Structure 1
């Protein structure tokens, strides 16, 4: 079974990127620093996080130095922690790398998004419209759009992740980009909702109070052995791994699902919204 942590995955991703940048294979690097190649492989996968001393040895051998060296060594401390708060931009980027890795190995994902379509269900023009709002530097937009589109593969690959996507009605009515963009997005949601591994539900405005009103969250489960929650806002990201913390969000997801529309009602609302845009 997979037993890892977000920080361990992020550290592994950083080590793998540094090695790839030097075009060195796992076996070759392991031989150069005098360790077994399986040890290095497990370090890069996040299965067995290396000590700060080993991280330093690996990075120095790869020519990493200065602030970058210190940043990754700091990432190697407390990799088994139950919570990981990322505030600085470099650490937020490391957290995003861990999130991408978790999406790839997750067996199930529960997403609650009250105001925006979640990334795994976005079309490129919708993503581009969000990123063009001034937050993302213009020269990075297309690269980031491509990365987000690549993430969607987890829903359509041969052994896809099981996704429960809970969307607030506001996510359908919030205008992102042009009417054409919104129409494409609504049609894509309707198409994805037909997949056997995607349970898409809309929570209507008149649902009353539910814990989802506290904000969006993402819960990822891996082989029943690891379950994490990811929370994000404008200035920070937070991974929760403690069983009690995760249980709070698991219960919240169940409560949100209880006030959600049925799959049939959701499909009807998506069709109605698409028709409304066509008539405008």
Structure 2
């Protein structure tokens, strides 16, 4: 049975709880009288334990209170065709699954009509977004460190392939001011030179395309099966049924047809950065 985002999140939660106690898998499996191979499958999301089995694991690890309840909720509906998160605990659970998929992906596609995709954001661009978004200053450094750490997936020796389909509007946003935006655009040009990154700009004036409906991420790997992640202001959504995933694969193909070539995209970004650099601020460049 294919791994699903919710099963992956459940497995990650169980694994983190075990590691938090400093226990190795075989050691802990013996303690709770479970087969190490089956415990491993539960922790990777390849199999889903029953509620009573999850309860046994959490109790043995001394997990209680809200954390206990949050993990136990993941047992139900692990193989439903979609997973919607509307509460803060659910958002944290989905982010855990997101990080798992991102780090294990073979191929990722980010459709980003209004903002630069997270893996291609500079530190100051991230800081500007978080500051304007109301993140407490005490939390900003931690969140920046986490996001920077995620870049390993495209920087390591065996990196994942990333297709970034960025809307032209994202290049003109005044995120942090002129210096931050120019540096961000230069960074995009630099990252586009990497063989595992296919960066393309979707220009204005190409008519309707699925990218105008909003951002989404498509994760593809050998196991788990391909999945789609969508993020809105108040909710997030995972899709993993074949019909849904194929619909988004078709959407990616449609956006690719109207996007600039990689070379034209780099020239376009460079031209915007050069013009922006000579203006007093981003607004003057847009005028």
TM-score w.r.t. length of structure 2 = 0.93
Q: Secondary structure at the match of 2:260?
A: coil
Q: How many residues align?
A: 279
Q: Is the Cα contact below 8 Å between 2:227 and 2:240 reproduced in 1?
A: yes
Q: Secondary structure at the match of 1:205?
A: coil
State yes or no: 1:182 paired with 2:172.
no
Q: Distance in 1 between matches of 2:133 and 2:214?
A: 23
Give RMSD over aligned pairs. 1.4
Q: Which moved more, 1:90-99 or 1:48-57?
A: 48-57
User: What is the match of residue 196 of structure 1?
Assistant: 195
Query: Structure 1: which 5+ residue stretches go unaligned?
Result: none
Q: Which moved more, 1:66-75 or 1:190-199?
A: 66-75
Q: Report the CA distance between 1:210 and its aligned residue.
A: 1.0
User: What is the match of residue 133 of structure 1?
Assistant: 132
Q: Secondary structure at the match of 1:160?
A: coil
Q: Distance in 1 between matches of 2:179 and 2:36?
A: 51
Map Cα deviations across residues 148-202 of structure 1 (whole Å, 9 max, x no partner).
Answer: 1111111121111111100000111001102111122111110111111111000
Q: Report the CA distance between 1:211 and its aligned residue.
A: 1.6
Q: Distance in 2 between matches of 1:262 and 1:271?
A: 14
Map Cα deviations across residues 101-136 of structure 1 (whole Å, 9 max, x no partner).
Answer: 001111111110011001011111111110111332
Q: Distance in 2 between matches of 1:137 and 1:83?
A: 32
User: What is the match of residue 76 of structure 1?
Assistant: 75
TM-score w.r.t. length of structure 1 = 0.96
Q: Distance in 2 between matches of 1:265 and 1:250?
A: 23
User: What is the match of residue 65 of structure 2?
Assistant: 66
1:23-62 matched pairs, under 5 angstroms: 23-62=22-61
Map Cα deviations across residues 217-273 of structure 1 (whole Å, 9 max, x no partner).
Answer: 110111176010000011110000011111111111111111111111101111111
Q: Distance in 2 between matches of 1:224 and 1:62?
A: 28
State yes or no: 1:248 paired with 2:247.
yes
Query: Structure 2: which 5+ residue stretches go unaligned?
Result: 280-287
1:1-280 matched pairs, under 5 angstroms: 3-223=2-222, 226-280=225-279
